[in-house]
């Protein structure tokens, strides 16, 4: 056994996979370069925030993210797959150690003619060990290790994604509650206008058609309120499912947005490759593919294994022949593939093609990650400017409606013109609510794109 161990330890060393820089050079076209700094002007090169959920200063959101992290069923399924990948490492690495089994048997044979019963029983200990001289088993184990690491990184990114999804859903619920409040205001506005129209109708200043138009506007506002309530109900239940709760609509969101956190430090582009879990997972899959190629190549070399058996057999036949019931057996096997119809060569080609695919997928993951960060950084400025313009427009729309209402009372404009002014004002108010939510949502997307922990 000591000699066998020396052979095993003295086997060929397995090849090292290419480093991150080498894989990146293979993955990206020669004309594609990673800049030193983000192209977005608002980028802050300081270290990325950790624990980004707390930067929203919303204790309820922090609590919901923790609840989802513990109870979300998709995350539990992902964690179980990681556990399975970890145990697979034991299975793949098992051939590096001797396989030991115990075989115990016993039987009675009855000779009917002689009316005699013969007892046969015994046991043997079997030991077999494939010597991993070329490193095929170790390469397979390294591939499984890289696959397990990729699964772990995928789980980490899944947890980040669920945290971001909970945060987005929480503020989407806030948006729908604000839309409900706006719909209620809209009903009051049109009801007030209807009162004015009826008064003018009694005074003989307008036709009956104005009354019907005003009443229709009130009813349309009521329809809008019901639609907003339905969307809010669906959004709340969707969030409860994320939390692992029964969708009973018991969760009570706030009818206001949290204050957006201060500027987000984005770090440098190069640091994203070593921080974002889904990019790291893609890189580990490249490593796994590299080792799978080695396994395929080494499978064409001879496999050498040692076997040993020892035990005791009690059998009447042994006694008649004068043989001892105790025995042991030692052996060695060498298996050299000679002809398998090109299967082994095809396996190498398949593994090599899968390695190229993994490299290309890694390059795509890298570019997508950069795009998401650059987009979110640029949107920080776009969305704030849009909100400023909308706020300014809303002030003008409010003043326009005030003047138009006075003109309608005085009979200087018709109802249709006043209704159009009112509709435009309410539409801008909706856009303001949406724009405020977009700033928060984009901030969450930026944290997710940067791979910051929650």
196-245 per-position pLDDT tens digit: 999 999 988 989 999 999 999 999 999 999 999 999 999 999 999 999 99
Q: Judge whether 150 lies within some domain.
A: yes
Lowest mean per-residue pLDDT among 117-131, 169-183, 277-291: 117-131
Paired tokens of 253: 């969101």
Confidence band, pLDDT 50/70/90 cuts, at residue 391: very high
> Please, which residues have CB within 8 angstroms of residue 336's CB and are 6 or more apart in sequence?
301, 302, 303
**First vs last C-alpha separation in the chain:** 52
Where in 315-424 does DSSP place strands (E)? 326-335
Domain count, the chain: 1
Dihedral (CA of 428, 430, 436, 437) sign: negative
Q: Judge whether 57 lies within some domain.
A: yes
pLDDT at 430: 96
The closest of 396, 380, 384, 381 to 428, measured between CA atoms, is 396
In this prediction the pTM is 0.85
Paired tokens of 63: 């609590």
Q: What is the mean pLDDT of residues 268-283?
A: 93
In this predicted structure, the answer to whether residue 1 has a pLDDT above a threshold of 70 is no
- Residue 418 belongs to domain spanning: 2-105+123-450
Q: Judge whether 117 lies within some domain.
A: no
In this predicted structure, the answer to whether residue 58 has a pLDDT above a threshold of 50 is yes
pLDDT at 17: 92
Q: Judge whether 118 lies within some domain.
A: no
What value does the mean pLDDT of the chain take?
88
Percent of the chain with pLDDT over 70: 89
Confidence band, pLDDT 50/70/90 cuts, at residue 338: confident
- Cα torsion through 244, 248, 186, 212, rounded to 10: 130
Are 303 and 130 in contact by the 8 Å Cβ rule? The answer is yes
Q: How far apart, in Å, are the Cα atoms of 219 and each of 216, 227, 287?
A: 5, 12, 63
Q: Judge whether 115 lies within some domain.
A: no
Paired tokens of 257: 């947005």
pLDDT at 124: 78
CB neighbour class for 111 (10 Å; exposed up to 12, middle 13-18, buried from 19): exposed
Q: Read off the CATH number of the domain in which 293 is found.
A: 1.20.1600.10
Lowest mean per-residue pLDDT among 4-18, 56-70, 80-94, 405-419: 4-18
In this predicted structure, the answer to whether residue 321 has a pLDDT above a threshold of 60 is no
Q: Judge whether 116 lies within some domain.
A: no
Where in 339-436 does DSSP place strands (E)? none
Q: Judge whether 331 lies within some domain.
A: yes
- Cβ-defined contacts of 329-337 (< 8 Å, 24+): 330/306, 331/306, 331/307, 332/304, 332/305, 332/306, 332/307, 333/303, 333/304, 333/305, 333/306, 333/307, 334/302, 334/303, 334/304, 335/302, 335/303, 335/304, 335/305, 336/301, 336/302, 336/303, 337/299, 337/300
The closest of 450, 288, 280 to 358, measured between CA atoms, is 288
In this predicted structure, the answer to whether residue 395 has a pLDDT above a threshold of 80 is yes
Q: Judge whether 304 lies within some domain.
A: yes
Q: What is the mean pLDDT of residues 434-442?
A: 95
pLDDT at 3: 45
Using CA atoms, how far apart are residues 219 and 213, in angstroms rounded to an integer?
Answer: 10
129-178 per-position pLDDT tens digit: 888 889 888 999 999 999 999 999 999 999 999 999 999 999 999 999 99
The single residue listed with the structure tokens 């990681």 is 82
């Amino acid at each position: 056994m000591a000699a066998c161990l020396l052979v095993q330890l003295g086997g060929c060393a397995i090849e090292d996979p290419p480093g991150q820089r080498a894989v990146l050079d293979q993955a990206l076209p020669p004309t594609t370069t990673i800049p030193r700094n983000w192209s977005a002007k608002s980028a802050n090169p300081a270290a990325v925030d950790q624990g980004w959920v707390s930067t929203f200063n919303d204790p309820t959101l922090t609590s919901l993210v923790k609840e989802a992290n513990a109870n979300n069923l998709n995350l539990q399924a992902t964690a179980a797959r990681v556990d399975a990948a970890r145990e697979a490492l034991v299975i793949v690495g098992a051939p590096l150690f001797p396989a030991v089994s115990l075989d115990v048997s016993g039987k009675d044979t009855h000779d009917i003619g002689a009316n005699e019963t013969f007892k046969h029983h015994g046991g043997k200990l079997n030991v077999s060990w494939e010597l991993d001289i070329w490193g095929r088993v170790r390469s397979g184990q390294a591939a499984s290790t890289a696959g397990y690491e990729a699964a772990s990184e995928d789980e980490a990114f899944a947890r980040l994604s669920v945290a971001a999804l909970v945060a987005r859903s929480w503020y989407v619920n806030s948006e729908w509650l604000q839309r409900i409040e706006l719909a209620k205001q809209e009903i009051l506005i049109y009801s007030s206008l209807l009162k004015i129209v009826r008064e003018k109708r009694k005074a003989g200043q307008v036709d009956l058609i104005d009354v019907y138009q005003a009443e229709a506007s009130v009813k349309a506002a009521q329809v809008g309120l019901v639609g907003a309530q339905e969307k809010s109900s669906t959004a709340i239940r969707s969030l409860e499912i994320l939390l692992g709760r029964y969708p009973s609509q018991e969760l009570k969101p706030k009818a206001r947005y949290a204050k957006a956190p201060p500027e987000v430090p984005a770090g440098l582009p190069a640091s994203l490759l070593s921080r974002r879990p889904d990019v790291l997972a893609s890189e580990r899959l490249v490593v796994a593919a590299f080792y799978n190629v080695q396994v395929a190549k080494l499978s064409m070399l001879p496999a050498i294994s040692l076997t040993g058996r020892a035990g005791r057999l009690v059998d009447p036949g042994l006694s008649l022949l004068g043989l001892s019931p105790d025995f042991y057996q030692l052996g060695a096997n060498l298996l050299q593939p000679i002809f398998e119809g090109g299967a082994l060569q095809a396996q190498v080609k398949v593994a090599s093609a899968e390695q190229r695919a993994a490299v290309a997928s890694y390059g795509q993951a890298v570019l997508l990650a950069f795009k998401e960060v650059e987009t979110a950084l640029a949107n920080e400025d776009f969305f704030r400017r849009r909100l400023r313009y909308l706020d300014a427009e809303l002030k003008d729309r409010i003043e326009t409606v005030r003047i138009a209402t006075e003109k309608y009372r005085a009979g200087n404009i018709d109802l249709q013109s006043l209704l159009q002014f009112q509709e435009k004002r309410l539409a801008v108010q909706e856009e303001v609510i949406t724009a405020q939510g977009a700033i928060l949502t984009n901030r969450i997307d930026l944290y997710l794109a940067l791979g910051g922990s929650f």
